[in-house]
A and B are shown apart, each in its own frame.
Chain A
Amino acid sequence: MRLTSIEDLERRRSEAIAAKDKVEQVILVCCGTGCLASGSGEVAQAFRDELAKRGIDMEVRLHLKTTGCHGFCERGPIVTFVPSGVLYQKVQPKHVPEIVEKTVLAGEIIKKLTYKDPKEKKNISQYNEIPFYALQTRIALRNIGQTDPQSLNDYLARGGFKGLEKALRMKPGDVINEVEKSGLRGRGGGGFPTARKWRSALKVKKDKLYIIANGDEGDPGAFMDRSIMEGDPYDVLEGMIIGAWALGSDEGHIYVRQEYPLAVVNLQHAIKTLRDDGLLGKNILGSGLNFDIHISRGGGAFVCGESSALMMSVAGKVGEPRAKYIHSTERGLNDLPTVLNNVETWVNVPIIIEKGGDWFASYGTAKSKGTKAFALVGRVNNTGLVEVPMGISLRELIYGIGGGMQRDREFKAVQTGGPSGGCIPAELLDLPVDFESLTEKGSMMGSGGMIVMDSRTCMVDIARYFLNFLLEESCGKCMPCREGLLQLKAVYDRLVEGAGVEGDIPKIERLSKTMQDSCLCALGTSAPNPVLSTLNFFRDEYLEHIRDKRCRAGVCKALTKLYIDPQACIACGKCIPGCPTDAITGAKKTPHVIDKPKCIVCGSCVEVCPTDAVRVEPARKPAEVTR
C-alpha cells in the first residue's frame, strides 16, 4: 500500500507493532556473511524443516528470521531467541531438532551451545550478559541482527522511519541544526563534521544537489559498512531521505562494492519496497520532497572509496581522485554540489533526529561524539563487529570486548585505520579511541578496521603487507604514489630478504616525506603511515632486520632460525607429523630437536606447539655479526 502522508506511516507502524506483539517467539538466525560462511544458511533451512515437520505455525505463534550480522562472527553461526534473550553459538544443523525440542518448545537452555567465557570459565546463556555484547553501545548497529533486512514491517516495528517522520515535521534548517548539535562527524575516516559539510554544500547549491552514501569499504579486514548495508538497509535509506529533506536533494546514490552481493540484493529490495510504498519517489509522504536513490556498483578498486574517485566512478569515468582544493560539496558528481557521507554516518542520522542531537552527543568525548563501529580482527579472542562509544580505551576494546589475546600471547600492536592508518604499540594501550588521539599518534580512525597483533607479528612485514596492498590499489594517476610505493616496496623486499643496509631507514623516511608532501589524494599522502608508525614505535625491529639479520617474530623466513626450547617442550610430538621436510626429530619424553639445515621456516610447528616452545633464535653476539 502506498503511503501518502505521515499519518499513513504511523498507522502502518502501529499495525506492524501489533502484528509483532502477537508473535510469541522469534528465532533469529544470523545470516551475515561471516555466519553464512560457517553454515548458517543450512541451519536456517534445518529450522524451517524441523518446524514444518512438527507442524508449528510459523505465521502466528513463532517467527523464524534470517537477520544481518550479529557481529560475533568468531562464534558463528549465531542463533538467538526472542523474548528469552538466549544466544546459541556455533550452531550446526544437527543441533536443530534438539533446540526445537528443548529451547523452543520447553524453554530449556542447552548448555553446550551457550557461550563459555574463556576468563571466568563459566557458561553465559543470555545474549546481553556476554561481555562481547554487554560492553558495547549499539547505535549504528542497533537493528542489525534484530530484524529481517528485507522486511519493512520489521524495521517499522523497531521504530523505523520515526526519524523521518520527525524530520518532515521540522524545517530543513532545523534538521541540520539537530545534526550539528549531535556533533556527528564523518565515519569514513576523515572525521569531518557532518553538519558543516551539509551547510557548505547548501551555500553553493543552485538547482541540483546530489547525496551519496559511500559503501565502498576497501580496507582489509573491515566490514562495518557491509554489515550495515546487509543487515539494516532501510536505516541507510532513511538517513539519506532525511538528508535529502535537509538539503533539498532529489537524487541519491549508494556506491557499493561489487564484492558485497548480499548488500546489493538487500539494498535493491529495500529501495524497491520504499518506492512501492511511497517513501521514495515523488512527493514523499505528502511533504513535497521528491527523492530517489540509485545503486552504483564499484569494480573493487580501493581508491574508489576516496570521495572524488568515487564520484568519477559513479559518473562512469576512470576512478581516479582529483585535487580537492575545490571541495566536492561545491563541485562533486557531474561538477554539481554533492554531499557524500559514509554509510555508517548516514545510519546515525535517523536516530539523531528521533532522539535529538543532545542524546547522541551524550556519548563520546568532547570532540568526538557518539559511537563508532569497529571490525575487530586479528589475534584477539573475540573477533567481530563491535560498536563502542568514542573515547573508550584500546585496552577496553581488546581485553574487554575482544576477550584478550589468543593463547594469552603478548599484545604487540594494533593497526587502526586500514592501510592508511598506523600501528599503535602496547605502551599506548590506554589511548582513547577518538579522531584526534589516533591521528596524533600517527595512525587514524579510518573507517574502523582494527587489526590486533601479537608477538608473532613482524612489524617490518606488516608494513610491507600494507605497502603491497597500496601498491596494488594505487590508482597510478599521481607519480609519487605510483612510483614511490614501488620503490618503498623494493626497500622492504630487501629488508625481509636480509639484504637491508644502513641507509635504508633514511631512504624510507625521505621517500615517505616526499610522498606526504606531494601526493594527490589522501590515499597517497597517508600511504607512508604504516611505514612511519612502525618505524617510529618499532625502530629496533627494523635495526634488527638490518644489523643482526634477525626477525624476532619469526615471520621473515630469510632472517629466522627456529629452535625448540628443551625446557618448554613437553615432547607431545604434535609438531613432528606437520613438518614438511621432516626436520623435527624426537622420541617420547625427550625434547624434540629441529635439524636446522633441513628447516624451511614454514612455521607449521610454531602454530601447533601447545607451549610455544618453538622459538626464534636470538641474535648472534655482535662479534659474530658479519655483513
Chain B
Amino acid sequence: MAEIIINGKPYQCEEGEYILKVCRRNNIPIPTLCHHEAVEPWGGCRLCIVEITHPKWPGWKRTVTSCLYPAQDGLVVETDSPEIRETRADLLDLLLARCPNTDLVRKLAAEYGVTKTSYTPRENPDDCILCGLCTRVCGELMGRAAISTASRGVQKMVATPFMESPEACISCGACVFVCPTDAMAQKWKKHMGRELKPIPSEFDQGMCGRPSIYTPFPQAVPNVPIIDKESCVKLLTGDCGACEIFCEPKAINYDAVDTIEEVNVGAIILATGFKIFDARRIPQYGYGRYPNVFTSLEIERMINASGPTGGEIKLRNADGIEKRPKSVGIVHCVGSRDDKTHKWCSRVCCMYSLKLAHLIKERTGADIYNFYIDMRTPGKSYEEFYEKLLKEGVHFIRGRAAEITDATLAEGEEGKLVIRAEDTLVGAVCRIPVDMVVLSVAMEPQTDTDDVRRVFNIGCSTEGWFLERHPKLAPVSTFTDGIFIAGACQGPKDIPDTVAQAGAAAAEAMALIDKGYVQLEPNTAFITEELCSGCKTCVGLCPYTAITYDMEKLRAAVNEALCKGCGTCVAACPSGAAQQHLFTDSEVFQEIEGVIDYV
C-alpha cells in the first residue's frame, strides 16, 4: 500500500497504480478523451496531465499524464493547478482547431474557457479526434484488429486495410460504441455500406438497443444481468471480456451454462400470462409498414421515464425540433371482438387506451381521436375516468377503424396518416389525418399453451386459455389436483383481477400444503393382477397418468394418489382386470338386482 497526496488530501492506493485510477476511484475529476477502463492506458490526448512533486526530492517537479503514471508512496499530485488548467486550455484550443464542430470537444473546451479556437481551424473537419479508442478496442479487446490507424502525423486516420471492408470485422460494433463522437458511426457506414444496428431491446419493444450483457427489465427477478449467448463476443470468440474488467466484485462468470433444476413441490401455480396480438395480422392498419403506427405496448414503453425516449412521445421518422406528434389516433379492439381474428373482448384495452390518451394529451397536448366499438368501463372509478377524458376534450368516434393509410385525398392530409372509419353515431364515413396511430392490441394466449397444458395435464379452452375446474366454485383450481392457475393465462384480465386471482391461487396452494397430507376419494381403480394380461390398453387411456406398466410383473398398476376414479380404465379393460372401488362388477350387479327387486 502507498499513500499519495492529491490536491492536498491523502489517499490510499496500491504502489504502481495509475494516478488517474486513484483519482477516478475517489471522484476527483480529470478530463480524458482517450481513456477507457477496458483497454490499456494510451496517453494520446494528454488532457489528463497533472503536476507531480515528491517531498523526498526537493525541486523535482514534472508534468505527467495521470493515466500512465504509476503512483509511488508520498507522491504529491496537483490535478487542477492554474498551470495545468492553462496547458489543458491550450490543448483543447488545439483540438478545437482540429474538430471545431464536434460537440464533445466544444463542451470540454468551454469548461476551460475556450469557446473559439485561436488557431487555424482545419478545412473540412470531421468528428474524429484520433483518440485511438476504436482501434485499441478492436485490437486489444476484440482481438480483431480490423481497423487501425493509417499514415502518420496530421494525415493520420482510422482506417481499414486497403480502405476496404475488412474480413476480420465481426460487426460487433465495439468501435462505434466506444467512439466518444459520431465519427466512427459515420466511418462504419462509409466502409461497410450500411448502418450498424444495435441488438434490439426486447423489453423496449426493439425501439432501442441493448448490450450483450443486460438486465432484462428493471424489476427482473432475480435483478441481475444476463449474457446474451448469441451476441456476446467473449462467448463467441473468447475475446472482449470488457464487462469482467468493469465488474468490481468480479461477479461475472462466463462458464455458467443453462441448467435444468428439479424441484420437488407440493403444489404448482401456473401464471404463464398472455401474449399481445401481432398487429401485422390486420394489414389494413399498416403496422410495420408505416413507421408511425405503434402498438399500445410500444407507446407504454415510450411514456415510461426509463424507456427508450426517456418518457418523451416522439415520432419515429422525424428529426429536428418537430419530434412530437400534433395529433394521435387510438384504434381500439385491434384483434379483439373480431370474427377474423379473436372473438373475445380483451377487457383491458378500453381502459389502457383511455390512460394512454390521457397521458399523451398531458405530455404533448396533441389532439387525440379514439375509435371504439363500445366503451367498456366496468369497475370502480373507471366510468368516471372516461367522463373526465370526455371533458378533457379527447375525441371519441364510435366505429371500428376501417383502414389506416398514407394516401392523401384532401388538403391537410399530406405527410400524415389518415384513419378511415365510419362514425356510427353520425352515420357517416370520416377521414381523420393524424401524426401517430396507436393500435390497442388484443391479449391472446401464449403460443405454447397446448404444450404446457399437456405437461401439467390440465384443460384448455378452444381459444387456448387454461380451464379452471369450475367458473364459480373452483375458479383457480384445475382438473389436476395441486395445480392452480392465476392471471391472464386463464383469460384476459387486468392487473387488479390478476393480483386477486393470484392471491386466491396462493391461498389454495397453501391450504393444500399446510395440511401435510392429501385426502383421496375412496372410488379409486385397482388391477386384479391374476386377470391382467398386460395389454396396456388402460395405460394410454388414463387421463390422469395414474396407470403405469410394471416391467417386472408384466402387469398394469394404478397409482392411487393420482387416480380420480373416472372409471375409463374399468370400462376399457378387455379382461375385466381393471376394477374400481365402490363400483366393482359385483357391487354394480348387486345394486342392479336391488333396484329390480324394488321394482
| A residues lining the B interface (CB < 8 Å) | 301, 303, 318, 322-323, 325-326, 471-480, 482-487, 490, 507, 510-511, 514, 517-520
Contact = CB atoms under 8 A, between A and B. Distances in A.
B91 A473 contact: no
Contacts of A472: 153
A485 to B, nearest CB: 7
Nearest to A503: B118
**Majority secondary structure of chain A interface residues (helix, strand, loop or mixed):** helix
Contact of B87 (A318, A478, A517): A517
Given A487-B94, A517-B63, A518-B91, A479 B154 contact: no
B46 A479 contact: yes
B45 interface: yes
B382 interface: no
Interface string B117-153: 0111000000001101000000000000000110111
Given A322-B43, A472-B153, A478-B43, 7 more contacts: A475-B153, A476-B153, A480-B91, A482-B153, A483-B95, A485-B154, A517-B87
A480 B153 contact: no
Contact of B152 (A303, A323, A517): A303
A520 B46 CA distance: 8
Contacts of B78: none
A518 B63 contact: yes
Residue of B63, B91, B97 ringed by the most chain A CB atoms within 10 A: B91
A486 B46 CA distance: 17
Nearest to A524: B46
Contacts of A322: 43
A514 B132 CA distance: 22
Contact of B94 (A303, A318, A477, A479): A479
A473 to B, nearest CB: 7
A511 B87 CA distance: 9
Interface in B79-112: 87, 90-91, 94-95, 97-98
Interface of B: 42-46, 49, 63-65, 68-70, 87, 90-91, 94-95, 97-98, 118-120, 129-130, 132, 148-149, 151-156
Contact of B154 (A323, A325, A486, A517): A486
A519 B44 CA distance: 9
A325 B68 contact: yes
Contacts of B90: 510-511, 514
Given A484-B94, A485-B153, A325 B130 contact: no
B97 A518 contact: no
Contact of A479 (B63, B64, B95, B149): B95
A204 B397 CA distance: 84
A500 to B, nearest CB: 14
Nearest to B34: A479
Given A478-B44, A490-B120, A483 B94 contact: yes
B120 to A, nearest CB: 5
Nearest to A471: B153
Nearest to A472: B153
Nearest to B90: A514
A482 B91 CA distance: 11
B50 to A, nearest CB: 11
Nearest to B130: A476
Given A322-B43, A490-B120, A477 B132 contact: yes
B87 A514 contact: yes
A317 to B, nearest CB: 9
B331 to A, nearest CB: 55
Nearest to A486: B154
Contacts of B97: 483, 487
Contacts of B132: 477
B151 to A, nearest CB: 8
A467 to B, nearest CB: 12
Contacts of A326: 70
B154 A471 contact: yes
A163 B119 CA distance: 56
Contacts of A490: 119-120
B87 to A, nearest CB: 5
A505 to B, nearest CB: 15
Given A517-B87, A518-B49, A301 B152 contact: yes
Contacts of A303: 152
A478 B152 contact: no
B148 A519 contact: no
Nearest to B68: A323
B45, B151, B152, B156 — which one has the most chain A CB atoms within 10 A of its CB?
B152
B154 A482 contact: yes
B94 A473 contact: no
B46 A476 contact: no
Residue among A325, A326, A475, A483 with max Cβ neighbours from chain B (10 Å): A483
A487 B153 contact: no
A305 to B, nearest CB: 14
Residue in B69, B90, B97 with the greatest tally of chain A CB atoms within 10 Å: B90
A504 to B, nearest CB: 12
Contacts of B68: 323, 325
Contacts of B120: 487, 490
B152 A473 contact: yes
Contacts of B118: 507
Give the 8 A-B CB pairs with smallest separation, nearest first: A476-B156, A483-B94, A474-B153, A514-B90, A323-B68, A487-B119, A518-B46, A323-B43
A483 B98 contact: yes
B153 A473 contact: yes
A517 B69 contact: no
B63 A325 contact: no
* A480, A486, A518: most-surrounded residue (chain B CB, <10 A): A518
A478 B34 CA distance: 10
B65 A323 contact: yes
A476 B154 contact: yes
A524 to B, nearest CB: 9
Contacts of B152: 301, 303, 473-476
23 contacts: A322-B43, A323-B64, A325-B64, A474-B152, A475-B152, A476-B130, A476-B153, A476-B154, A476-B155, A476-B156, A477-B42, A477-B132, A477-B156, A479-B94, A479-B98, A480-B94, A483-B97, A483-B98, A487-B97, A487-B119, A514-B94, A517-B63, A520-B43
A301 B155 CA distance: 14
Contacts of A476: 130, 149, 151-156
A445 B140 CA distance: 38
B46 A480 contact: yes
* Residue from A472, A475, A487, A519 having most chain B Cβ neighbours under 10 A: A487
A318 B153 contact: no
B360 to A, nearest CB: 47
Contacts of B64: 323, 325
B34 to A, nearest CB: 8
Contacts of B148: 318
Which of A318, A472, A475, A479 has the most chain B CB atoms inside 10 A of its CB? A479
Contacts of B70: 325-326
Nearest to B120: A490
A482 B152 CA distance: 9
Contacts of B154: 471, 474, 476, 482-483, 485-486
B127 to A, nearest CB: 15
B153 A479 contact: no
A301 B44 CA distance: 19
Nearest to B46: A518
Contact of A518 (B87, B119, B129, B156): B87
A301 B68 CA distance: 25
B254 to A, nearest CB: 25
B121 to A, nearest CB: 10
Contacts of B95: 479, 483
**Of A301, A473, A474, A480, most B-chain CB atoms within 10 Å:** A480
Contacts of B87: 514, 517-518
A316 to B, nearest CB: 11
Nearest to A477: B44
B20 to A, nearest CB: 12
Nearest to B117: A487
A478 to B, nearest CB: 5
